[in-house]
Structure 1
Amino acid sequence: MTTLPAIAGVLTAEQIDATGAAIAAMQEDSGALPWFPGGQTDPWDHVESAMALSVTGRIAEAEAAYGWSRRHQRADGSWPIRMVDGRVLDPNIDSNFCAYIAVGVWHHYLITGDTRFLDEMWPTVWSAIDLVMKFQRPDGAFRWGGDHRSGAMFDQAQITGNASIFQAIDCAVRIADEMGQPESSWAAAHAALGDVIRDRPENFEPPSDHSMDWYYPILGGALRGRAGQEHIARRWDEFVVAGMGIRCVDHRPWVTGAETCELALAVDALGDTADAITLVESIQHLRDPDGSYWTGLVFSDGKRWPVEKSCWTSAAVVLAADAISRTSAGEGIFRDVRQTLVADQQIT
Structure 2
Amino acid sequence: MRPAESTPLLAPAAIAETADTIAAVQEPDGAIPWYTGGHTDPWDHLECAMALRIAGRADAADAAWDWIRRTQRADGSWATSYVAGQIKDEFADSNQCAYVATAAWHTWLATGDRAFLHRMWPVVRGALDFVVALQATGGQIWWARSASGAAYPEALLTGCSSTLHSLRCGLGIAALVGETPPGWEAAAGALRHAVGNHPERFADKRRWSMDWYYPVIGGAVRGSDGRARLRSRWDDFVVEGLGARCVADQPWVTGAETCELAIALHLVGESVAAATLVRDVQRLRHVDGSYWTGWQFAERVYWPQEQSTWTAAAVLLAVDTLAGGVTEAAFRGDDLPAWPPAPGHGSDGAGSDGAFEDPQRSCA
- Residue number among 263, 270, 273 corresponding to 2:271 in the alignment: 273
User: Which residue in 1 is equivalent to 2:316?
Assistant: 318
| Number of the residue aligned with 1:114 | 113
Amino acid at match of 1:292: S
Aligned position for 2:262: 264
Question: 1 CA distance for matches of 2:68 and 2:172?
Answer: 20
**Residue in structure 1 matched with residue 361 of structure 2 by the alignment:** none
1:333 is aligned with what amino acid?
Answer: A
Equivalent position to 2:331, from 328, 334, 339: 334
- Aligned residue number for residue 253 of structure 1: 251
1:50 aligns with 2:27: no
Counterpart of 1:83 in 2: which secondary structure?
Answer: strand
**Aligned equivalent of 1:4:** none
Match of 2:104 in 1: 105
Unaligned runs of 5+ in 1: 1-6
Amino acid of the structure 2 residue aligned with 1:91: E
Question: C-alpha separation between the residues in 2 aligned to 1:22 and 1:85?
Answer: 19
Query: Paired residue for 1:71?
Result: 70
SS in 2 for 1:89: strand
Compute the displacement of 1:182 (Å). 2.3
The count of corresponding residues between Structure 1 and Structure 2 is: 337
Deviation at 1:331, TM superposition (A): 3.2
Measure, in 1, the Cα distance between the counterparts of 2:320 and 2:8.
15
Indicate the RMSD between aligned Cα atoms, in angstroms. 1.6
Deviations, residues 266-287 of structure 1 (Å, cap 9, x unaligned): 0101111101100101111100
**Could you tell me how far 1:10 is from its partner in structure 2?**
3.3
1:34–1:46: 8 Å Cα contact kept in structure 2? yes
Aligned residues of 2:47 and 2:314 also touching (Cα < 8 A): yes
| Distance of 1:339 and 1:305 partners within structure 2 | 41
The separation in 2 between residues aligned to 1:251 and 1:154, in whole angstroms, is 27
Take 1:316 and 1:177, find their aligned partners in 2: how far apart are those partners?
28
> 1:190, 1:340 within 8 Å by CA — same for their partners in 2?
no
Question: Cα gap change, 1:261/1:102 in structure 2, threshold over 3 Å: closer, same or farther?
Answer: same
**How far does residue 339 in structure 1 lie from its aligned partner after superposition?**
9.2
- Using the alignment, how far apart are the partners of 1:170 and 1:205 within structure 2? 23
Q: Say whether residues 1:30 and 2:29 are aligned partners.
A: yes
Counterparts of 1:131 and 1:10, CA distance in 2 = 39
**Contact 2:9–2:319 (Cα < 8 Å) also in 1:** no
Letter in 2 for 1:129: L
> Partner residue of 2:234?
236
Q: 280, 297, 300: which is aligned to 2:298?
A: 300
Work out the CA distance in 2 between the residues paired with 1:189 and 1:312. 29
Deviations 1:23-82 (A, max 9, x none): 111111111110001100000000000000111111121111011011000111110101
Out of 215, 219, 224, which is 2:222 matched to? 224
User: 2:359 matched to which residue of 1?
Assistant: none
Whether the 8 Å contact between 1:222 and 1:339 is mirrored in structure 2 is: no
Aligned partners of 1:303 and 1:266: how far apart in 2? 27
Tell me by how many angstroms 1:325 deviates: 0.6
TM-score where L is the length of structure 2: 0.90
Residue 221 of structure 1 contacts residue 339 of structure 1 at CA under 8 Å; is this kept in 2? no
Question: Are 1:13 and 2:1 an aligned pair?
Answer: no
**Unaligned stretches of 5+ residues in structure 2:** 1-5, 348-364
- The answer to whether the 8 Å contact 1:82/1:91 transfers is yes
- Write the mapping of 1:150-161 to structure 2, written as runs, cut at 5 A: 150-161=148-159
Task: Tell me how far apart the structure 2 counterparts of residues 219 and 282 of structure 1 sit (CA, whole Å).
Answer: 20
Distance 2:340 2:315 in 1: 33
Structure 2 counterparts to residues 155-234 of structure 1, below 5 A: 155-183=153-181, 185-234=183-232
Cα distance in 1 between the residues matched to 2:275 and 2:62: 29
TM-score with structure 1 setting the length: 0.94
